[in-house]
Structure 1
Amino acid sequence: MSTLALALVAVLGFLWICLLSRKKSIGGNYVKMDKQTVPDGAKLVTYQWNLPYSSSEIIRRLELLDEEDVVGCGGFGTVYRMVMDDGTSFAVKRIDLSRESRDRTFEKELEILGSIRHINLVNLRGYCRLPTAKLLVYDFVELGSLECYLHGDEQEEQPLNWNARMKIALGSARGLAYLHHDCSPGIVHRDIKASNILLDRSLEPRVSDFGLARLLVDSAAHVTTVVAGTFGYLAPEYLQNGHATEKSDVYSFGVLMLELVTGKRPTDSCFIKKGLNIVGWVSSVRFSFFPLPFLPPLPRHVGWVFCS
């Protein structure tokens, strides 16, 4: 083998080692995990940054959460708003115990999720195991979900103009791309939808609930055969064979973009009565109406012009 060939092999080998090292270290610089055992069998684990509160104070606040603090309910449990004495808010997801897995496996997977940090992802700040519940502590995202802004009263208070919708589309895409390509191993979300896109005060989107489908529905394999997700967003091949992949996430993201542009839910009644969903409807009208750039910049339900 020539000297040039040997040099080329050496360079390629070095680059490959650097790439593997980079993949393994993603998120590692941001992780600072602190495990604390507190009285009465409770356990508190914090990620990324130590929370500036004592473990007993956090546990006390968690135990005081009740129905008045509920801000949402999802497929994996109830979400509460926890307010600390200094006014700082956190979102707390109470995991349905019927979905729980072995503690060691569960906590190992959470360490991976807790290591992920990106401006367009909701940060997992901690995990608490109480005798009666498992609780995940996240950053609280002030304005709530994109679903509320597209279909709820929030739209009237701060309408989403086209610039805002573009910002939400790009930020959501960046968050999903980070999960797919910058995490090692890559994370398939499996439930991309408007209610899992949260908005901060500047309308910067943050993808939430990533990793939970794998963790709570089927922890046996990275790509599972158990269908998880929301009807209307699921890729046809995912429904057919049960295999969640990056491509099925991208399909769900495409449905989300149609919802963002039209202001219509994927299974809006105006589609259902025609035997369609939003994808089928867009396919049926794409050559029948004026080009999308000429749509009027209506603040909400811009799709009404098509569904009369």
Structure 2
Amino acid sequence: MCFWGCFLYKNFGKKDMRGFRVELCGDFSGSSVVMFHGDLPYSSKDILKKLETMDEENIIGAGGFGTVYKLAMDDGNVFALKRIVKTNEGLDRFFDRELEILGSVKHRYLVNLRGYCNSPSSKLLIYDYLQGGSLDEVLHEKSEQLDWDARINIILGAAKGLSYLHHDCSPRIIHRDIKSSNILLDGSFEARVSDFGLAKLLEDEESHITTIVAGTFGYLAPEYMQFGRATEKTDVYSFGVLVLEILSGKRPTDASFIEKGLNIVGWLNFLAGENREREIVDLNCEGVHTETLDALLSLAKQCVSSLPEERPTMHRVVQMLESDVVTPCPSDFYDSE
């Protein structure tokens, strides 16, 4: 399994691992382990001892914030360990504050932060390990196709996770990088939103706007790309793009779109102009329900509106999914004729 692209390992994984080995095989004086949630029966000594045994075989991916490793404990439990290199003391203090808050966040549809090791040169974040891999891998790299019900279930799970971040966390959290590689799947293809922990947290008394541009091209809302301002509504736009990606089986900047001078949103708008929206659906997807497809397309179009005020909240998105998409339509069971 690879969370953030094992292909990056060839470029810098080995170099990063040498530093990792030097750091962890040496003196642990000054290192500390903080564990969140009371359901992990490990001491700091247990964790540090296990870290000493890790080598390049444990690398499972790499991303913008650091290399990811597979951490297997003696009792059979497995975790994902993300190494974030420290660059300055100010950043170190920032992460301490972030992690303290994130450690209290626990939800069925989020990849939970279990704890972290504060070592001399890096933060080692301990996350749940999901054996199903990323949605990006399943959609675009594996031969086995997701059927319609599996895709609907993934969309709903991702929506619930993002809704929790927007509406039920205190302070609220803008993800800023919703994309298929940040939706991880367990063995039953249940979706969980990952990598939200490094996004900027929103305080209730603030304006809920951050000016640090993050995200991945193809998923970003127009106003985010133009002004660099992230709000909950920019996350909603990215979620709408994600829905279209799941429905079509194509990345937002697939070559078939680019050669027409479009992205996936532009392609949807083109098809809508000719009343052909249903043609966006992946031809390899089995069990498509026409009624729920139309409801999903309507929802996606609202989410990717060019006007932020016309986009629904994620709380409303979940409501619409549960009432219009997940709830079976009568014609699913009866012949309409």
Q: Which runs of 5+ in 2 are unaligned?
A: 1-26, 289-337
Q: Secondary structure at the match of 1:80?
A: strand
Q: 1:291 to 1:105 in 2, by over 3 A?
A: closer
Match of 1:241 in 2: 227
The answer for the alignment partner of 2:191 in structure 1 is 205
Q: 1:39 deviation in Å?
A: 4.7
What pairs up with 1:185-200 in 2 under 5 angstroms?
185-200=171-186
2:132 corresponds to 1:137 = no
Q: Which whole-Å CA distance do the structure 2 matches of 1:107 and 1:90 have between them? A: 20
Q: Does the alignment pair 1:258 with 2:258?
A: no
Unmatched segments (≥5 aa) in structure 1: 1-37, 303-308
Matches within 5 A, 1:1-308: 39-98=28-87, 101-153=90-142, 155-156=143-144, 159-214=145-200, 223-288=209-274, 290=276, 292=278, 298-299=284-285
Q: Secondary structure at the match of 1:198?
A: strand
Q: Return the alpha-carbon distance in structure 2 between the equivalents of residues 61 and 221 of structure 1.
A: 43
Structure 2: distance between partners of 1:262 and 1:294: 5
SS of match in other structure, 1:166? helix
- Deviation of the 1:60 alpha carbon: 2.0
1:32 aligns with none
Q: Give per-residue Cα distances to partners, 1:138-157, cap 9 Å, x unaligned.
A: 1111111000000012x42x
> Superposition RMSD on alpha carbons, in Å?
2.5
CA distance in 2, matches of 1:132, 1:187: 27
The TM-score normalised by the length of structure 2 is: 0.71
Q: Deviations over 1:3-61 (max 9, x none)?
A: xxxxxxxxxxxxxxxxxxxxxxxxxxxxxxxxxxx951101101112521221120122
Post-superposition offset of 1:286: 2.1
Q: For the residues of structure 2 that align with 1:100 and 1:232, how far apart are their CA atoms?
A: 34
Greater Rg over alpha carbons, structure: 1
Task: Provide the rounded CA distance (Å) in 2 between the counterparts of 1:231 and 1:241.
Answer: 14
Conserved? CA contact 2:208–2:231, under 8 Å: no
Paired positions, count: 257
The amino acid across from 1:107 in the alignment is D
TM, length-normalised to structure 1: 0.77
Counterpart of 1:93 in structure 2: which amino acid? Answer: K
